[in-house]
Every structure is written in structure tokens, then in C-alpha cells.
Structure 1
């Protein structure tokens, strides 16, 4: 499909047209012209990009889809539909499925199921068999089959020796371990942030210490093996400080943060709304400020959705027994806009850096390059509701809320999807 986008502002620090208002022409999946006053051809679809931003297509580092085995939560079709609506042209999916993605068979299943989609679906293999943290999974075979990284999902790797061996082995073939930071012996069965709020709620608090001790361990191991470690979903002031120092010391540490941890705080739990129950838990305002500062100074490399779909029977229950997580693919952009990120920062943290961390080709808004982009209006208001929620699940505290920042179209793999 041939497409002409007129008067759109480009947000791509890798492009000579960054922050310039331009017309962009796409022919047969290639950006063939960028300029001003481009004339529309007869066979072109024209989109008025006035007031809109064109960014490299977003890429999510941290997404659960449930397929295979938990398709009642989300399958590849619904996940990619939600991803497109959120501006994502690629998602890396976690291995917490049934069976767990711990061999090349499961990796190949996901790749084949998602083939030909506008949204690229790239599997993350498990670090350990069945994500039990005891026996190494088939890391090298999975990478050869198409796995882009390795993670035990939302389960932390508690055995220090096992983590050390996994790092040493993955280093041999440039594999990246993406780890969830939680010292389980300290975290226990805590469900909310340890603070005055947890006392008022009468619930056992999860201290920031549990996250920060785990990150400290992984920094030591990354130093010892001179191997890269990616920390997923950091949430505390202390975590930012630890990673900032490690990077300054030249240690191969990277990290991401979930979009909701940049906006939501623990005070939202006062009504015991289980849709705000996430892991790591919502933290204090001081933590949010530190996370935002860490994003802007480069300490935090990327933003992820931490998309966690659940059936209603797992969320519409008492807070203490509710499952962790929210659906988030369609709300990342509005949350980043609400958090105060500008268009270039959004492009860096949501499109460029996530791909760079995984060693993937980064789309560039440049003539002659493959077209892979997202167009959104940062000031358009819309209501997120059951009619435009493309996920199979509905566990989001933002449903039926007015949001600012609307995806208008996405383009990838010679496919165009537009949204009103």
C-alpha cells in the first residue's frame, strides 16, 4: 500500500529530519521521500498529520500473552491487536506460558503462529527449565531458533550460583539475561509497598530492600563475569541509584521501567482496587520522581508495558487473593505523555533503545529505509473502554477513563493499520 503522510512532526534522534515538520511518502514498504509540499499520486492513501508525531514503531520489552496454554487470558491475535492500537510494531513476549518457553520447540511455535503479522512477535526464552531456577533451559538452541533474550518472567532467580552459571553460559554466545529483581526471602508474601500506606491498609509491606539487594547481587555477578545483565521493571529510588553507579563504573547493566510506575503511586490502593495490584508494587511519590529522573539522565534505558492479562475471576476478587498485573499495551503512550516525556524521549525509550538492547535492527525515519513507524496525536483525548479495548482481558484501572495521547496509525511489514 502506498501512503502519503502530510505535515507530520518527525521524532527520531537518528534521523536528519528529527523534530522537523515534513511530508512522508511510503511506497511498497519503503520510505521513498521526505520533504515539504509533496504531491499526492492517484494511487496513494493520504493522511493529514497536522498536530501529529511520527516515530519509529514502538517495541515492547516486557509482554505476557498466555499463548500457548493460557489463551483464555490472551492469545497472539488479541495481543497483536492490542499492541497495534498502542502503537507497537514489535513485542518481546515472556516465557511464562504452558508449556513454558524453555526449548526451541516453543520458540518456533510462537514465531510460526505470529508469522506475517504487522506486529513482530519475538519470543523470550526461559533461563531455567519450567522457570524453577534449578536447571538451565536450552538457551543456545532457543537463540538459534529465534529467541531474543532469556528471562524467568516475573519470577526472580534466587539461587546465586545458578544465576552465576547462567550468566557465564549465556556470555559464550552473546545471550542477554533479563531478570526480575526480588529477594524472595525478604519479600515473603508481601503485596504492597512497605510504608505508612501499608500500615494504614493493614497489609504486610514489601520493602524496597528486597528489590535493591537483588540488583546489588546481579551487579556483582555482572562485574565478576564481565557479562551483560538487564534488570526488568525497576521501581525504587535506591534501584536507580545502584544502576546509575554501576553504569558509571562501566558495568554492563541495563534496565527498564513499567509505564505505570512512572505515574501511579501507592495512594491509589486506598480503595483496595485490585486493578492497581502489580508487581513490583506501586511505590511512593519519591520513587516515581527518581524513576523519571533516571529515564531522563539515561540511567533507565527503556520503558515497557508489563502487560499482564488475567481472566475476571482472577482480578474481581479480594485484593489479597487477586492476581498481579494489568493490561497495558494500549495505555503506555498516554501514561508517558502524562508523565511528561516529550516526543523524542518517547521515541528513544519506547522504540529505539528496546531494540538496541536486544541487538535488533532499529527503524530510522529516513529516505530509502524500510517503513516501520507509529503516528500519534499527543494532545488528542479519548476514552479507553470495552469498545476499543482489543485485549481479551479487561484488568486495567484505566478502563472507562479519559486519556490523552492517541495512536492514529501504525505501519510495518508493508501493512497499514489506522484508527479513526
Structure 2
């Protein structure tokens, strides 16, 4: 199939076509020609959309779909459809399933979904057996089967020696360890950010200290062991400062931030809406400002939707008992583009290299891995905008700037 994108503004900072309107011809999944004007000939499928912009396909490093074990929250098939319609061509799948993917058979099962949609799925393997935090899982075997990194989703590595051994072991095959930045013992019963709002609302707090202590510990261990460490979804100003200093030392460290921690603060908790019960928790305006600065400066490597569907039975209950999590794929770009500049947003959504994946490019001869979007449309995010099975979004009712039209990934075209 031939696809012709007409009058598309290309957003790719290292390209000679950056911010220029171009026609792009794609043939059999390969970008054949980029020019100011390309005539439409034969059976080509011509795509003309209002204010069409294109970039390299967006990449999300933290996505949960539920299956296997929690299909009532989201199936992989519907999750991949949601990702495609939200502009994502590649997603890393988290380990919060039942059973957890702690062996090569589980990784093979996840990889079996590749080719069924326009989205490429990359499995994350559990760091420990059954995600119990005690014994390392079959890391090398899972890596050989295609696991991109190793992570017990939202479970901090309590034992520092376990992190040390994991970093040393994975160094032998260039594996990537993820360590969730949360020291549980500092706030064993906390559920929201420790601040004025938590006191006024009578909700037990999680201090910023719980995050910075874990980050500082992990960075000391990384400096000792070497290896590659990724810290997912940081949320505090202190974490940004610690990671910035570690990068100056030359440590092989990367980090991400959830888009909700850039778009919202703990002021949202006034409604007691359980959609705002997130981990890491929503923090203060000071933290949001530091996170945005860290993103603009390059200290924060990537932004994730941290998409985590939760069924209504576990969300529509008392705040103390509700499950953490928010869906985020459908609203991710609009929220991020509202919070920062377009080029920064696109860069933060295309950081393949931090997980050892080849970065795509919009260039003649390259494989088509493209997101189509309008960066200027102003719209309100409502339940009607949600493709996910679960509807637990912290951004419901928010006005967003920018929306995806869909994706082209290889020979597959998906459009809203």
C-alpha cells in the first residue's frame, strides 16, 4: 500500500525538514520520498488533515494493560488500539499482571501480540521472582527472549544488596534495571503528598523525603557497581537535583516523569476524587516547576503516560482504600504539550535510546514509524475521549492543547 501525507509539518529537530511543510510518500512501510509537493498517482491513499504535523512515532516507557490476570481492567488488544489512537507506535509493558512476567515464557507470550496492531510492544521483565523483592528472576533468559528492562512495577527495591547484585549481573549483558523511587518505611501508611493539603484533608502523607532518600541510595549503589539504572516517574524537586548531579559525575542514569506530575498538583485532592490517588503522589507547585525545568534542561530524559487502568470496583470507593493509578495514553500528548514547548514535548516522547532501542527518523529510505497530530487544537478531555476499558483518568475535565490523529508503523495505518 502507498500512503501520501499531504502538507505535513515535520517536527524533528535534527532534520533538514524540521518545521517545514512537506509531502511524504510511504511505500510498503518505507518512506520513499519527502518533497514540497508530490503528485498523487495510481492507488495511493492520500491523507489530508487540518494542521497536520508529523514526528517520529511516540514511545511510552510505562504502560499497564492488565492482561494476563486483570483483563477486566484492560486487554492487551484494546490497550494497543488505545495506544495507536493516542499517537504511540511503541510501548513498554509493565509487570503488574497475574502472574507477573518473571520468566522467558511470559515474555514470549507478550511478544506474541506484536504484529497484531500498529503498535510495537516491548515487554518489561520482573526484577524479582513473583515480584516478591527477594530473589532475582530469570533476567538473562528474559533478556534473550526480548525483555527490554527489569522492574517490579511500583515496588521499591527495599534491599540495597539486591539492587547492587542486579546492577552487577545485568552489566554482563547490558541489561537495564529500574528502581521505583519510594522508601516505604518513611511513610508506611501515607497515601498522598505530605503537605498543607494532606493535613487539611485528613489524609496521611508521603513526604518528598521518601523519594529523595531512595534516589540518593540508588545513585550511591550505581556509582559503586556501574551498570545502567533507570528511575521511573520521579516527582520531587530534590530528585531532579540528585539526578542532575549524578549525570555530571558520568553515571549511567536515566529517569522519567509521569505526565500527571507535570500537569497537576496536590491542590486537586480537595475533591477527594480517587482518580487523583496516584503513586508517586501529586506534589506541589514548586515540585512541578522543578520537574519542568529538569525536562527542559535534559535532566529528565522522558515523559510517560504511566497508563494504569483500574476497574471501577477498586476506584469508586473510599479514598483510603482505592487503588493507585490513572489511565493516561489518550491525554498524554495534550497535557504535555500544554505544559511545555512542542519540540520539548516531542523529544520527551521519542527517547528510544535510553532503553537501547534504535531511534526512528523521518527520512527517505527509513522505515515508517510516524505519529500524526495537530499540536494546536484546544479540546476538553471527557469520558467520550476514552478508548480504554477503564475510565479512571486524573485528567478528566481538563482542557488540553494538541491531539493525535493516529500512527503509521511499517505497513500499518491507524487513524481516529
TM range (shorter): over 0.9
**Counterparts of 2:407 and 2:357, CA distance in 1:** 19
SS at match of 1:319: coil
Write the deviation string for residues 243-277 of structure 1: whole angstroms up to 9, x where unpaired: 00110111111100001111100000011011111
Q: Report the alpha carbon displacement of residue 16 of structure 1 after superposing the two structures with TM.
A: 2.3
**Counterparts of 2:376 and 2:353, CA distance in 1:** 28
Q: Report the alpha carbon displacement of residue 187 of structure 1 after superposing the two structures with TM.
A: 2.2
Q: Does 1:91 align with 2:91?
A: yes
TM, length-normalised to structure 2 = 0.97
Q: Report the alpha carbon displacement of residue 54 of structure 1 after superposing the two structures with TM.
A: 0.5
The aligned counterpart of 1:81 is 81
Query: How many residue pairs are counted as aligned between the two chains?
Result: 416
Q: Report the alpha carbon displacement of residue 401 of structure 1 after superposing the two structures with TM.
A: 4.8
SS at match of 1:70: coil
**Counterparts of 2:48 and 2:308, CA distance in 1:** 34
Q: Report the alpha carbon displacement of residue 40 of structure 1 after superposing the two structures with TM.
A: 1.1
SS at match of 1:331: helix
**Counterparts of 1:50 and 1:388, CA distance in 2:** 19
Write the deviation string for residues 295-326 of structure 1: whole angstroms up to 9, x where unpaired: 00000000011111011011111111111010
The aligned counterpart of 2:335 is 335
Q: Trace 1:21-420 onto structure 2 (pairs within 5 A).
A: 21-49=21-49, 51-342=51-342, 344-351=343-350, 353=351, 355-399=352-396, 401-419=398-416
Q: Report the alpha carbon displacement of residue 50 of structure 1 after superposing the two structures with TM.
A: 5.1
Write the deviation string for residues 173-208 of structure 1: whole angstroms up to 9, x where unpaired: 100011111111102110111111111111111100
Q: Report the alpha carbon displacement of residue 350 of structure 1 after superposing the two structures with TM.
A: 0.3
**Counterparts of 1:383 and 1:346, CA distance in 2:** 19
Gaps of 5+ in 2: none
**Counterparts of 2:335 and 2:50, CA distance in 1:** 22
Write the deviation string for residues 345-397 of structure 1: whole angstroms up to 9, x where unpaired: 2221101x1x1011111110000100010010012234444444211101013
TM, length-normalised to structure 1 = 0.96
| Contact persistence 1:76–1:114 (CA under 8 A) | no
Q: Report the alpha carbon displacement of residue 402 of structure 1 after superposing the two structures with TM.
A: 4.4
**Counterparts of 2:67 and 2:311, CA distance in 1:** 14
| Contact persistence 2:24–2:33 (CA under 8 A) | yes
- In the TM superposition, structure 1's runs of 4+ consecutive aligned residues that sit over 4 Å from their partners are none
Write the deviation string for residues 11-41 of structure 1: whole angstroms up to 9, x where unpaired: 1124221222211111111111111121111
Which moved further from structure 2: 380-389 or 143-152?
A: 380-389
Write the deviation string for residues 142-188 of structure 1: whole angstroms up to 9, x where unpaired: 00011011101110110011111111111111000111111111021
Write the deviation string for residues 192-250 of structure 1: whole angstroms up to 9, x where unpaired: 11111111111111100010010001101110012111000000000000000110111
| Contact persistence 2:30–2:410 (CA under 8 A) | no
Gaps of 5+ in 1: none
SS at match of 1:379: strand
**Counterparts of 2:189 and 2:161, CA distance in 1:** 24
**Counterparts of 2:222 and 2:20, CA distance in 1:** 41
